Amino acid sequence: MKPLIIIAGPTATGKSAAAIELAHMYNGEIVSADSMQVYKYMDIGTAKPNAADLAKVKHHMIDIVLPDYDFNAAIFHNKAKEAVREIHSRGKIPILAGGTGFYINALLYNNEFEAYEDKKSGYRNELYKKSKEALFETLMETDPQYAQTTHMHNIKRVVRALEYYYETGEKFSAYNKRNKENRACEYNFKFFILTREREKLYTVINKRVDKMIEEGLIDEVKYLLERGYTKTMTSMQGLGYKEICAYLNSEITCQEAINMVKQGTRRFAKRQITWFKNQSDGIWLDVDNFNCPKALAGEIAVKAAE
């Protein structure tokens, strides 16, 4: 089987920096596993690698679609798989790096979207008539484990899980677990999950949001709106974008928007941690045990070789 190294974990744990250092050590290329970095023009709010980092190491799955494109896990699976194949063909090591665990497992196991992405049951239309709050409340009641790993605003995932439950009587979280256990992966992969103590993580998140504002997140959102990308688009529902849209529409103050981005990102990080604990098997590494990304990458390299 072809080699694959995965660097995952919650936001603000230094995945990109570690991946770049590891790519230098392994003569590798990076495949982004971030559901927002696929969109063009959305740079600051998605914490994309900057031009200097992109010049250091070849990256894939970044800036591949416009913000009005309906991107999903099935599309990611196909495009990321092709990127990994190209990297292998050049004799290099692919390094899958990002925090969207749903996408990572899509590449590894083809799971979640495969059985119910295209199938339309008799429940779907009725489910979409309900409010997102009502849908998520139902998911919390029927499948709390899966609800912990998704967000109320991700209506497509919520509906898919409820649809599967009503069709089969089985929780979607149980389906995912069984599907993963029964499906062989075509890659010889090593899975690393970066983490840090919760309060430290929240402090880094708050500082990163402040830095995004300083770097021009508000102007970035203005630019997107001026180009005709509306707040109802999936891409514009991403953290940082929907809150700034609300501020620009005079629905909330600037400070309220910033506070909401911080709070939303902290909650998102918590859900990411829960997802990786429940849906993946990997080696957990506390990033605060290393004094720099290069040292962390060195540890990953040692453990990947074991």
CATH code for the domain of 102? 3.40.50.300
State whether 137 and 280 are in the same domain.
no
State whether 67 and 198 are in the same domain.
yes
State whether 37 and 61 are in the same domain.
yes
State whether 23 and 137 are in the same domain.
no
State whether 130 and 279 are in the same domain.
no
State whether 99 and 135 are in the same domain.
no
Q: What pLDDT score was predicted for residue 165? A: 86
Q: What pLDDT score was predicted for residue 172? A: 86
Number of domains in the chain: 2
Please, how many CA atoms are within 13 Å of residue 282, restricted to the half-sphere of its CB?
Answer: 26
Q: What pLDDT score was predicted for residue 118? A: 46
Q: How far apart are CA 65 and CA 40, in angstroms?
A: 6
Q: Quick check: 166 and 121 in contact, CB under 8 A? A: yes
State whether 128 and 172 are in the same domain.
yes
State whether 254 and 136 are in the same domain.
no
Question: Domain range for residue 122?
Answer: 118-182
State whether 13 and 156 are in the same domain.
no
Dihedral sign for Cα atoms in the order 59, 37, 19, 91: negative
Does pTM top 0.95 for this prediction? Answer: no
Taking CB atoms within 8 Å and a gap of at least 24, the contacts of 153-160 are 153/237, 155/128, 156/72, 157/102, 158/132, 159/124, 159/127, 159/128, 159/135, 160/112, 160/116, 160/117
pLDDT tens by residue, the chain, 306 residues? 899 999 999 999 999 999 999 999 999 999 999 999 999 999 999 999 999 999 999 999 999 999 999 898 889 999 999 999 999 999 999 999 999 998 998 899 865 444 444 455 578 788 888 888 899 999 999 999 888 878 787 787 898 888 888 888 888 888 777 766 656 688 999 999 999 999 999 999 999 999 999 999 999 999 999 999 999 999 999 999 999 999 999 999 999 999 999 999 999 999 999 989 987 789 999 999 999 999 999 999 999 998
CATH of the domain at 130: 1.10.20.140
Reported as type and span, the H/E element at residue 35 is: none
State whether 70 and 137 are in the same domain.
no
State whether 32 and 124 are in the same domain.
no
Q: What pLDDT score was predicted for residue 182? A: 58
Q: How far apart are CA 76 and CA 107, in angstroms?
A: 8
Q: Which of 182, 215, 232 is the last residue of a domain?
A: 182
Q: What pLDDT score was predicted for residue 180? A: 64
Q: Quick check: 42 and 241 in contact, CB under 8 A? A: yes
Q: What pLDDT score was predicted for residue 195? A: 97
